[in-house]
Chain A
Amino acid sequence: MIAGYTGADLAIALINVLLLGLLFVIGVAIARMRSLFAIVMLAGIYSLISATWFVALDAVDVAFTEAAVGAGISTALLLGAMLLTARTAKPEPFSRSIVPILVVIATGAMLVYATIDLPAFGDPDSPANTYVGTDYLERTPKEIAVPNIVTAVLASYRGFDTLGETGVVFTAALAVILLLGFGERSLSATFNRKKDKK
């Protein structure tokens, strides 16, 4: 069926093709839809399928984060944002979408061209698996003694990066609060309404 694959490899290849095909279909559907509610839901499904695909690529930690953040929180936040605006997007005339389509096609072609140079998936001689990656795998049991090497890299070897990431999340919350307020307006409004009734 697919050249060069047999047995379990063929199954994984087929699963990858299926998942990527689903992602493509959902992407096209999102681009063509006008109902924002449906778009938000499809974006959540897109994240969930991405997470499944990351599991197929053995990136379990990334998949976990994608499922929790992309499918969980982002969908809820987008729903909240959607409730503040209109329910449907205005239809765009075709003439205005020609340039974006060309940009997307050109970027896609460049990315496909770039994948030709990428090492094969799981290649032990690839740059990601030779220098610092093997170093972490060798040194973590001696230096950190934590079974999950991802945690060791994240919290200990790359502690500065994680501190920065935490700072970014905190700053994002600060920025949203500065723009939209604390969100206590509805609470106080409800209290005031109850007081008025009394």
Chain B
Amino acid sequence: MAGPRTDHHVILRVVAKPLIPIISLFALYVHFHGDYSPGGGFQAGVIIVVAVVLYALIFGITPAMRAVPPVFARSLAALGFIIFAGVGVWALIMGGNFLDYDVLFNEEPGGHMGQHYGIIAVEVGVLFAVAGSMLSIFYAFAGRVTEIKDEDW
């Protein structure tokens, strides 16, 4: 993608490129540390999308779509919603109410495993749904502009 024509963005690319893995790592931290600190699936999903959007902004929308295909993004969104609702159905099958995590593992009263794993599963669902949806929305807008012209910056 980077030809001689776009070389004057080289500093931008060099500075932004190492940020992308750091942003993704931070998103994972926000997700898995959500039980202990502010954050959770929603924020983590948005931060992961920010990493992809940054990639799309500095390298162009086409390489970004090759790295994370739009079909993957929208499948991820649907899968996330299914995971969330699936935890509810799982609780229904185990004999409890919809999204009642206490019954997930048939524990003794006072056990918290069901709550912990239920929350983790639901947060994964939120992460997938939010990341996939936000990325699909970004692709829908950005995909209509073939390339950001230099005078638009």
A binds B: yes
Measured between beta carbons, the chain B residues less than 8 angstroms from A26 are: none
Interface residues of A in 78-117 (CB under 8 A from B): 80-81, 83-84, 87
Interface size on A, residues (CB 8 A): 53
Measured between beta carbons, the chain B residues less than 8 angstroms from A182 are: 70-71, 74, 136, 139-140, 143
Known contacts A72-B50, A144-B115, A177-B74; decide if A159 and B38 are in contact (CB<8 Å).
no
Interface residues of B in 50-73 (CB under 8 A from A): 50, 53, 57, 61-62, 65-66, 70-71
- Interface pair A146/B53, CB less than 8 Å apart: no
Report the tally of A-B residue pairs with Cβ distances under 8 A. 181
Which of A64, A143, A166, A181 contacts B126, CB < 8 Å?
A166
- Interface pair A68/B47, CB less than 8 Å apart: yes
Check if B22 is an interface residue, CB within 8 A of chain A: no
Q: Is the interface of A mostly helix, strand, loop or mixed?
A: helix
Measured between beta carbons, the chain B residues less than 8 angstroms from A173 are: 74, 77, 132-134, 136-137
Bound-complex Cα distance A85 to B77 (A): 28
CB-CB nearest 8 A-B residue pairs: A183-B143, A80-B141, A173-B133, A183-B139, A159-B99, A180-B140, A145-B112, A68-B46
Binding site for A on B (CB under 8 A): 30, 34-40, 42-43, 46-47, 49-50, 53, 57, 61-62, 65-66, 70-71, 74, 77-78, 80-81, 84-85, 88, 98-99, 101, 112, 115-116, 118-119, 122-123, 125-126, 129-130, 132-134, 136-148, 152
